[in-house]
Amino acid sequence: MSHRGRIYLIPCPLGEVPPNNVLPLSISKVIDSIDHYVVEHEKNARKFIKSICPSKKQSDLQINTINKFTNPADLPKFIDPCFEGADLGIISDAGCPGVADPGAEIIGLAHKHGIQVIPMVGPSSILLGLMASGLNGQQFAFHGYLPIDKQDRKRTLKQLEKQSQQLQQTQIFIETPYRNNQMLEALIQTLAKKTRLCVACNLGEADEFIQTKTIDRWKMNPVDLHKRPCIFLFQSD
């Protein structure tokens, strides 16, 4: 069997911070050696690659994008470079590829075809938020986005709160930044007053905000989260 390339899962910063402040040196070495990439958005990925390896020729990069507009039928060809012996890098828009990120589909294809997958160390907003929350880090669940419809969202929050109480489980989810204030209001109005809620906002940036308080205390001191990337976590004791 001919040598197959490997797939590197390359993390990037969560916000507008210098990559070298949060990423290990090994990542620049890997990016310098790879010309084939699957990314969430090409413009963002090129900017990130240039910030890590300024001397790397952008014209040498072969980039495919995977997001909600990608035709699923196109995905298998994205890993073709590996069958030709070339390594492939996967880059998310922010944080770690494959975690709340469409790159997971490419990683699944890699395992199906026996291609080695190498995860690299970098920031994950989900784990950073959990680490700093003071909530249960032994039992937790990430739910992605909750329903937009108000009544569906309320039912889902009640179900998650009941599950949290039964299992002592931390519930974690995200929201589109421009709907953060509505989500915080829904949490305050729906959850029990003694349920602990953590809001982790702008993680890794100079204006990072992380607070865990009971719902009744959040009612007294709400914050403005509009258009600020957030992770929401809660636990019902």
108, 29 contact by CB (below 8 A): no
Per-residue tokens: 185: 């209001």
Which tokens belong to 230?
A: 């957030």
The answer to whether residue 119 scores a pLDDT higher than 80 is yes
pLDDT tens digits, residue range 46-103?
Answer: 999 999 999 999 999 999 999 989 999 999 999 999 999 999 999 999 899 999 888 9
> In the chain, what are the domain boundaries?
7-119, 125-235
Encode pLDDT of 193-225 as tens digits: 999 999 999 998 889 999 999 999 999 988 999
pLDDT at residue 118 tops 70: yes
Instruction: Tell me the CATH number for domain 7-119.
Output: 3.40.1010.10
Nearest Cα neighbor of 81 from 29, 28, 6 is 6
CATH number assigned to the domain covering 125-235: 3.30.950.10
pLDDT at 2: 61
Global confidence as pTM: 0.90
Question: pLDDT exceeding 70 applies to what percent of the chain?
Answer: 99
**Per-residue pLDDT tens digits for 124-145:** 999 999 999 999 999 999 999 9
| Cross-strand pairs, 84 | none
Mean pLDDT of 148-177: 97
Nearest-angstrom CA–CA distance, 6 and 203: 30
**Residue 1, pLDDT above cutoff 50:** no
Q: 7-119 with 125-235: one CATH topology?
A: no
Tens of pLDDT along 156-167?
A: 999 999 999 999
The two beta strands, 170-174 and 140-145, are: parallel
